[in-house]
Amino acid sequence: MAKVVITETLDAQCADWLAERCDVVWHRHDRPGLDAELADADALVVRTYTRVDEALLDRAPNVRVVGRAGVGLDNFDLAACRARGVRVVYTPDANTQAVVEYVFGLILDHVRPRTALEPGTDAEAFHALRKSEVGVELAGLTLGIVGLGRIGKRVATVAHALGMNVLGCDLLDEATIRKQLPGVPFTFVDHAALYAGSDVVTLHADGRPGNKQLISRDALTHFRDSALLINAARGMLVDHDALARWLDDNPDAFAALDVHDPEPPSGGHELYGRNNALLLPHLASRTDTALRNMSWVVRDVMAVLEGGEPKDAAV
């Protein structure tokens, strides 16, 4: 039987399915003894924090396929995998719905305050809350989407359904994006125009080197002084020092960050403890359905091990 090493968490149902077909070994990526397990492994299944690069592949000479139980491939050196003939399989649409719902949850948390009643709340406090807790409707607000891939396009569809105006920018050309978003009106703009025209900016760009600190000091000069910035994509997209200074200068602005660089953020992170910043522990894809969808990467791992062609392969 082929040997498959799992280095991070995996849905139990999917892990059991894999264990019926091969020899499964669980070994944390950050624990001693991993090299011994890699030495005779035929495949790996990883998630976010296992770095699949030349150094790891040197220690795993027999590996034919690596499964990424997730969407992004930022932790992979795809060129190194390709050079060694190692297939890389993943689950590109597994968490789209989960992330989209999460993004709109963050937006609604910001624009629609909801303070729960405490036991014993009297009539005066009850009516005071009704007067102070006045929110803003999403209809009529402008949402700027940086990156119109799978998630960005779904965000645009939901935003339109809720009556929001949509601005978008992407590396792909406008004509290509419009073909992929039939029936969803949006305005295709450059980054500066998107930042300047948006009440809410949500990031859905990928982790290519050119996107590092995309939200920089210069980019932030274009933002509205009351804008909401959401990052549920990749921590490296934001210059956190620049963001901290911008939040200092714009107390009516707000940033909700679900991802960080590095993860977890340090205890002295410059955005902790602010009234206009929210740091979250990378929760956007954490639903039962999404986690199971991602874990079913094991089907493609087995397809490769059995000599077949996987459904979703990056290499």
Q: Which residue among the candidates 282, 286, 292, 299 is catalytic per the annotation?
A: 282
Q: Quote the CA–CA distance of 234 and 259 in Å, as a whole number.
A: 6
Active site residue 263: yes
Please give the Cα distance from 258 to 279 (Å, whole number): 6
Can you tell me the distance from the alpha carbon of 313 to that of 315, in angstroms, rounded to the nearest whole number?
5
**Which candidate in 29, 87, 154, 234 is catalytic?**
234
Do 193 and 200 form a contact (C-beta atoms < 8 A)?
no
Nearest to 186 by CA among 204, 161, 219, 214: 161
Q: List Cα–Cα distances, 311 to 14, 92, 274, in angstroms.
A: 16, 10, 45
Cβ neighbours of residue 231 closer than 8 Å, sequence gap 6 or more: 202, 203, 215, 237, 238, 255, 256, 257, 258, 259
Catalytic residue among 54, 133, 137, 263: 263
Annotated active-site residue 282? The verdict is yes
Distance separating alpha carbons of residues 147 and 170, to the nearest angstrom: 5
Cβ–Cβ < 8 Å for 139, 107? no
How many of the other CB atoms lie within 10 Å of CB of 140? 10
CA–CA separation, 242 and 226 (whole Å):
16
Q: Are 144 and 167 in contact (CB under 8 A)?
A: yes
Element (H, E) at 189: none
Q: Which of 130, 124, 172 is nearest to 152 (CA)?
A: 172
Phi, psi values for residue 72, rounded to 5°: -70, 155
Q: What span, in angstroms and rounded, lies between the C-alpha atoms of 168 and 225?
A: 20
Question: Which residues participate in catalysis according to the annotation?
Answer: 234, 263, 282
